[in-house]
Amino acid sequence: MNNAEATAATSQLAWFKSSYSGAEGGDCVEVAAGARAVRVRDSKNVSGPVLTVSSDAWANFVASA
């Protein structure tokens, strides 16, 4: 998958921002959960890089947080 295809694929996802982020935006990340992976991106740079981790890795991260 090239960069343009990856960008198109991530734009189709349902992205969620923390309810703690407030109206001003600030330093937030957005998360999109897929069937096999969870993607994380900077909410101020939605066309920037996306971190992809397995669903199991994300569940372990959240449980530890």
Per residue in 11-55, pLDDT (tens digit) is 678 998 877 766 666 678 899 998 889 999 988 888 889 999 999
Give the residue with greater pLDDT, 44 vs 61. 61
- pLDDT over threshold 90, residue 1: no
Could you tell me the pTM of the whole model?
0.71
Collect all residues with Cβ–Cβ distance below 8 Å to 45 and sequence separation of at least 6. none
Predicted pLDDT of residue 45: 87
Predicted pLDDT of residue 6: 53
Query: What tokens does 3 get?
Result: 């960069």
The Cα 40–Cα 51 span in angstroms is: 5
